[in-house]
Amino acid sequence: MKITLLGTGDAVGTPKIGCSCPACLDALAGGKSRRLRFSVLVESGGKRLLIDTSPDLRWQLLKKKISHIDGVIWTHSHYDHYAGFGDFHRIQNGVNVYGLKDTLDYILNYLYFMNPVRHDVKIYEPFELIGLNITLFLVTHPPLEESAGIVIMDGKNKVVITGDTSMRIPEKSISLMFEPDLLIADAIIPPRGTIAKHMNSKEAVELACKLNAKKVVLTHLSHNFPPHDESIKEWPLGYDGMEFEF
């Protein structure tokens, strides 16, 4: 199993349009602070699965020289997590898409001009995709009533993607998330601030400790962090194109 962080940015991305903060200047200069919007690529047995489809998906797929995907899982129905799916239009027909019912209802209404193959997933019920065991679990991402994180297992290894969430994760989900080999955690800002529907970097690291995670990488990052090379001295920030192999 191979995991690639295609995009590690928040809904705005870095650089933010019109901003000249240190992180945005580093991004404009080609540094690792440059962050496309959130997508994760999962590869196993020669097949490829996308977790969310960033508005920047076209460029992400071109960079990885990918022209075919075997499935898409959507964690929730916010624009920055699904809007790039339209870039499959006239490229690949009949894409298999997976998610919770309300999430799929919303996204597929927006993507009415396409004809993906819909697969409704029940929360906490495992299913198999590209040879991997996958389970969606509930997280808390207001004002949405329904938002999911993902557990991915290849038999020996366990990867947990929190999805967008606050620290208020249900205990049933915490039990399912426990002791991952890799935790990919939402951490939108440094700890000097709070955003009700997301974790900051301090909270995400605390969650990793609570889960007894072997490794944690922070994603869904805003331009409010210092430039990447400075930030990683304090927090385990991910970057676009970062890879993990199991």
Whole-model pTM above 0.85? yes
* Tokens linked to 134: 């996958």
Cα dihedral 219, 92, 74, 70, rounded to 10, equals -80
- pLDDT, tens digit only, all 246 positions of the chain: 999 999 999 999 999 999 999 999 999 999 999 999 999 999 999 999 999 999 999 999 999 999 999 999 999 999 999 999 999 988 999 999 999 999 999 999 999 889 899 999 999 999 999 999 999 999 999 999 999 999 999 999 999 999 999 999 999 999 999 999 999 999 999 998 778 899 999 999 999 999 999 999 999 999 999 999 999 999 999 999 999 999
Q: How many CB atoms lie within 10 A of CB 48?
A: 20
Q: What stretches of the chain show up as alpha helix (H) in DSSP?
A: 22-28, 57-64, 79-82, 101-110, 171-177, 201-211, 228-231
The dihedral sign for the CA sequence 85, 86, 90, 91: negative
d(C-alpha 170, C-alpha 138), whole Å:
7
Domains and CATH numbers, the chain: 2-245 (3.60.15.10)
